[in-house]
Amino acid sequence: MRVFIITGISGSGKSVALNALEDAGYDCVDNLPVDFIHDLVESLGKQGREKVAVAIDGRRGQSIQELPKTIEQLKSKYDVRVLFLNSNTETLVQRFSETRRRHPLSKSDDNRTPQVALIDAIEKERALLSELAESAHNIDTSHIKAHTLRSWIQDLLKDERPGLTMLFESFGFKHGVPRDADLVFDVRCLPNPHYDPQLRPLTGNDPEVANFLREHPEVQAMGEDIRRFIETWLPKYQADKRSYLTVAIGCTGGQHRSVYLVNCLFDYFKKRTQIFEGSEPHLLIRHRELELSSSKNQS
């Protein structure tokens, strides 16, 4: 039985994620009290259900701190995945302003001040959920649209086998480091195709850019060093019982060097699944800036 726990900061897209799981055949429950999760999963299991998803956020207050213990109990019987959705504060403030909804933690504990400021409510929720964020697969939804998040959720669901899900992600430092990254490698020191007028409009997915980078020994050396680091420490991450590991490669704009190296790493590990201990891994690839650019062009 596959159990998906969706949590994270209010306004970061939990409803979108839950809808994507419902479309994928999951029995979905939103805002369930933590104390009821175990009984719900047990009951659905007895009915022969194979997929269940539960969304929980900070409105449950201090009881949310019992969720890690509940998750560990479920993991002893089921294939449990935890997804944590996050966004930067500026984006969250904008979303709550657009929807005119109140933050779930906007009510003050002090009767003399019935409401707290939106930013204070957001920071309170961050503190409340910080432990969950550390042990879950994180997705930063700050700059992505709903249909992009839905697509990323669908990618996570493509392989239903238990085991490590490993994501290779390219990004541009000028747009910020991905919040969901476990390992971050900076490749801005490498030769930059951006300064070649013919290569500038292309990306690391194009053979012309790949050939340019392949001809530089330092690019190959950087790729080998990153690959060797991942191979060396991968057993430790798996021993830590991780379900997800995100490796982020960043250059300046996220168009050329990082895209090329992510493609190389993905192809390498796709052919060497024997180095993963236990179940066969689920490997994913994401080019953040290219996907965001494509999303803007479609809007």
Q: Which of 102, 127, 157 is the last residue of a domain?
A: 157
Residues 69 and 180 both lie in one domain: no
Question: Into how many domains does the chain fold?
Answer: 2
Q: What is the pLDDT of residue 143?
A: 83
Per-residue pLDDT of the chain (299 residues; tens, 9 = 90+): 889 999 999 899 999 999 999 988 999 999 888 888 989 999 988 898 889 999 987 776 667 778 888 888 898 888 888 999 999 999 999 888 887 788 877 776 555 555 778 888 888 888 888 888 887 888 999 888 888 898 888 888 875 555 688 999 999 999 999 888 999 999 999 999 999 999 999 999 999 999 999 999 999 999 999 999 999 999 888 877 777 899 999 999 999 999 999 999 999 999 887 777 666 678 999 999 998 776 555 54
Residues 170 and 290 both lie in one domain: yes
Residues 7 and 152 both lie in one domain: yes
Residues 205 and 79 both lie in one domain: no
**CATH label of the domain that carries residue 51:** 3.40.50.300
CA distance 212 to 208: 6
CA distance 204 to 212: 10
Q: Is the pTM of this model over 0.85?
A: no
Residues 238 and 280 both lie in one domain: yes
Q: Which of 87, 122, 157 is the last residue of a domain?
A: 157
Residues 101 and 146 both lie in one domain: yes
Residues 228 and 152 both lie in one domain: no
Q: Which amino acid is at 182?
A: D
Residues 129 and 105 both lie in one domain: yes
Q: What is the pLDDT of residue 296?
A: 58
Residue 274's Cβ-side half-sphere holds a number of Cα atoms within 13 Å equal to 2
Residue 66's domain comprises 2-157
Q: What is the pLDDT of residue 299?
A: 46
Residues 117 and 185 both lie in one domain: no
Residues 17 and 145 both lie in one domain: yes
CA distance 74 to 160: 17
Residues 137 and 196 both lie in one domain: no
Q: Which of 157, 190, 221 is the last residue of a domain?
A: 157
Residues 176 and 270 both lie in one domain: yes
